């Protein structure tokens, strides 16, 4: 069953704050939920499907549904694939709506890692932990491995990686809520401290409190709303696993999730006017644009260095809110904000200097986990209501 055109994003809301020391995670979930529903012209009483992930406190969707007063639920989903979860949730919501399981689906994300850093766990939780944890891997070091391997295989340079940050910073200067609003040069990226060779501090995303929410609705609900809606055209997901240590670090799960989403949507990479691409690190973007088919494998460095990512007129305008590198990476999970900015672009509501003219087709892509071990990719193709 295809979901093409069978569900619409009617509401999108990003929490405006980047540090929230005086509220609980549940409160932030509630604030973004109400914000997205208000954007759609709906209320909590209209919601009959609820989607959340590992950031939700308590007993996941049960605790949060109780807290939010969602008494009419017919469908819940707590899929956990890290930062890509919320991109996947949109596809899951569209499928549930197409199957008649719900009509108004609410998706929420919230967290406070900047003001309330999580406590370290005293006991490894995953089956891989006993084999990996003794060697002290960190999130930056795992992405650094992928960056170094890509450099070895394809001649990618640190200056090319820096071009991703430069583009994000050029966009962030127009976002009043962005955490880092000052444009930077490639030289400034390269001069910033090395965090894990070859990645510098400015190759890494921000750490921010906050959250976001989306409302996905059935066509008959969308028809009765006054706000512009965005059509869900295609969706793809794929895990990329460590393969017992035989992992190839030069590609991501986007090599599988992307083609599935494009095929369902009936479009190609050449049709995409705007792309929200997960940017936990600059190497994440570079590999993903290759894997989604926007350039040849191994040519990502030259592609981004040539200004392709700059809005509004680059070959592939990306992350026009500043992305996770400059704007917001709430609770260290960037998939939600990727969808939100894609919705803004399709509605013509992005910040004016970076609004892509006549934006009709947008892509949102999330990556959860780690490029150096195991990760989950999710890709969405979205269309303007009249496209």
The pLDDT value given to residue 132:
84
Dump pLDDT digits (tens) for 311-359. 999 999 999 999 999 999 998 899 999 999 999 999 999 999 999 999 9
pLDDT (tens digit per residue) in 104-146: 999 999 999 999 876 554 445 788 888 888 888 899 999 999 9
CATH classification (class only), 8-116+205-384: alpha beta
- How many C-beta atoms lie closer than 10 Å to residue 119's C-beta? 6
The Cα-based distances of 302 to 101, 206, 256, 262 in angstroms read 46, 25, 23, 24
Phi, psi angles (nearest 5°) of residue 76: -135, 155
User: What pTM was computed for the model?
Assistant: 0.96
DSSP notation for 116-181: SPPPPPSS--STTHHHHGGG---HHHHHHHHHHHHHHHH---HHHHHHHHHHHHHHHTT-TT-S--
Sorted by where each begins, the domain ranges of the chain are 8-116+205-384
What's residue 119's pLDDT?
59
Q: How far does Cα 199 stand from its chain's mean position?
A: 21
Predicted local distance difference test score (pLDDT) of residue 118 = 66
Residue with tokens 């992350």: 319
């Amino acid at each position: 069953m295809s979901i093409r055109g069978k569900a619409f994003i009617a509401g999108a809301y990003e929490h405006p704050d980047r540090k929230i020391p005086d509220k609980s995670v549940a409160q932030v979930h509630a604030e973004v939920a109400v914000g997205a529903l208000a954007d759609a012209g709906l209320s909590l009483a209209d919601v009959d499907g609820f989607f959340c992930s590992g950031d939700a406190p308590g007993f996941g969707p049960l605790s949060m549904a109780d807290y939010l007063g969602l008494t009419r639920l017919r469908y819940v989903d707590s899929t956990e694939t890290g930062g890509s979860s919320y991109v996947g949730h949109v596809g899951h919501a569209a499928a549930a709506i197409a199957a008649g399981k719900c009509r108004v689906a609410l998706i929420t994300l919230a967290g406070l890692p900047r003001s309330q850093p999580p406590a370290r766990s005293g006991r490894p939780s995953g089956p891989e932990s006993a084999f990996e944890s003794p060697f002290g891997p960190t999130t930056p070091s795992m992405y650094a491995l992928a960056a170094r391997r890509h450099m070895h295989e394809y001649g990618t340079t640190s200056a090319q990686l820096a071009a991703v940050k430069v583009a994000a910073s050029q966009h962030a200067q127009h976002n009043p809520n962005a955490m880092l609003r000052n444009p930077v040069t490639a030289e400034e990226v390269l001069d910033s401290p090395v965090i894990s060779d070859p990645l510098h501090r400015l190759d890494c995303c921000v750490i921010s409190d906050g959250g976001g929410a989306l409302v996905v609705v059935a066509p008959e609900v969308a028809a009765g709303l006054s706000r512009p809606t965005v059509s869900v055209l295609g969706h793809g997901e794929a895990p990329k696993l460590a393969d017992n240590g035989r992992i190839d670090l030069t590609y991501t799960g986007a090599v599988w999730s992307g083609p599935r989403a494009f095929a369902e949507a009936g479009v190609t990479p050449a049709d995409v006017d705007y792309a929200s691409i997960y940017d936990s690190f600059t190497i994440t973007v570079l590999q993903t644009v290759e894997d989604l088919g926007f350039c040849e494998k191994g040519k990502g460095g030259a592609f981004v260095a040539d200004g392709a990512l700059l809005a509004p007129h680059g070959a592939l305008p990306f992350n026009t809110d500043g992305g996770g590198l400059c704007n917001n990476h709430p609770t260290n999970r960037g998939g939600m904000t990727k969808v939100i900015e894609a919705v803004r672009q399709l509605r013509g509501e992005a910040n004016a200097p970076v609004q892509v003219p006549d934006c009709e087709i947008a892509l949102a892509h999330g990556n959860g986990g780690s490029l150096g071990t195991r990760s989950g990719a999710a890709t969405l193709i979205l269309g303007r209501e009249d496209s």
